[in-house]
């Protein structure tokens, strides 16, 4: 689908396989989420603009590239996106962090906001909205709506697992906002929840989820 980037890096595929193992410990599960966050961050930031700056090296003065513009913003959907953002911050420690508190009503699946805090100048920054699962797309759409209301223009959505329904929902409402997902998440697997979609903020919940090819 146009606007959807599935990350096919071998390390992402490998770590995603380890993550799916039902015998994975909680500690290892969280560590893998953080490591995948680093790899996804590398992919979503691969086209950041650069500008040349003059620096003084131990040998000579030289012109060399540096990321242009203001620091980017990671915007995790609480609490689930925080583990991935920890990994992303290891790669981009100077990035700002916004916090989007949303939960999905269990009966209507409507996203309900309970907390929001972000830098005041989102319009001047790249905003990367982060969540582990793109299921119905309602929460992701609400999160993107919220940062747009605060002025954000350059927005990207990153998740670990995406399904077709959620992708179509986000792309239908926000067709100009790219979606990044882990390798093979949409092509080979579908998530069969029991009884609801897993929330990776609670590793114990993953034990109620079955993966089918």
Handedness of CA 96, 130, 127, 145 (dihedral sign): negative
Contacts (Cβ under 8 Å, ≥6 apart) of 124: 69, 70
Q: Which DSSP helix (H) or strand (E) runs through 66?
A: strand 61-67
Spell out a b/e string for 123-144, using b for 16 or more CB atoms within 10 Å of the CB, else e. eebbbbbbbbbbbbbbbbbbbb
Q: How many residues does the chain have?
A: 213
Contacts (Cβ under 8 Å, ≥6 apart) of 113: 100, 101, 102, 142, 146
DSSP state of 121: T
Q: Could you give the domains of the chain?
A: 4-212 (3.40.50.2020)
pLDDT digits (tens, 9 = 90+) for 134-151: 888 899 999 999 999 999
Predicted confidence pLDDT, tens digits, the chain (213 residues): 678 888 888 999 899 889 888 898 989 999 999 999 999 999 999 999 999 999 999 999 999 999 998 889 999 999 888 989 999 999 999 999 999 999 888 888 788 899 999 999 999 999 999 998 888 889 999 999 999 999 999 999 999 888 888 888 999 999 888 998 885 444 444 444 433 234 344 444 554 444 333
Output the furthest CA–CA distance in the chain (Å, rounded).
65
Percent of the chain past pLDDT 70, that is, above it, reads: 85
What is the C-alpha separation between 12 and 37, in angstroms, rounded?
9
């Amino acid at each position: 689908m146009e606007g959807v980037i599935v990350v096919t890096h071998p390390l992402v595929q490998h770590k995603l396989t380890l993550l799916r193992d039902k015998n994975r410990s909680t500690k290892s599960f969280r560590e893998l989420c953080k490591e995948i966050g680093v790899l996804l961050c590398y992919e979503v930031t691969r086209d950041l603009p650069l500008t040349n700056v003059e620096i003084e090296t131990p040998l000579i003065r030289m012109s060399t590239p540096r990321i242009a513009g203001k620091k980017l913003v990671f915007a995790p959907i609480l609490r689930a996106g925080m583990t991935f953002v920890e990994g992303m911050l290891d790669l981009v420690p100077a990035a700002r962090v916004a916090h989007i508190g949303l939960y999905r009503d269990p009966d209507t699946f409507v996203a309900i906001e309970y907390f929001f805090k972000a830098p005041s100048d989102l319009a001047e920054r790249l905003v990367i909205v982060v969540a582990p699962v793109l299921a119905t797309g309602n929460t992701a759409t609400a999160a993107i709506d919220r940062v747009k209301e605060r002025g954000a223009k350059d927005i990207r959505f990153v998740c670990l697992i995406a399904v077709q329904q959620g992708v179509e929902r986000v792309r239908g409402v926000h067709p100009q906002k790219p979606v990044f997902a882990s390798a093979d998440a949409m092509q080979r697997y579908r998530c069969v929840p029991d009884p609801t979609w897993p929330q990776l903020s609670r590793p114990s919940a993953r034990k109620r989820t079955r993966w089918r090819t």
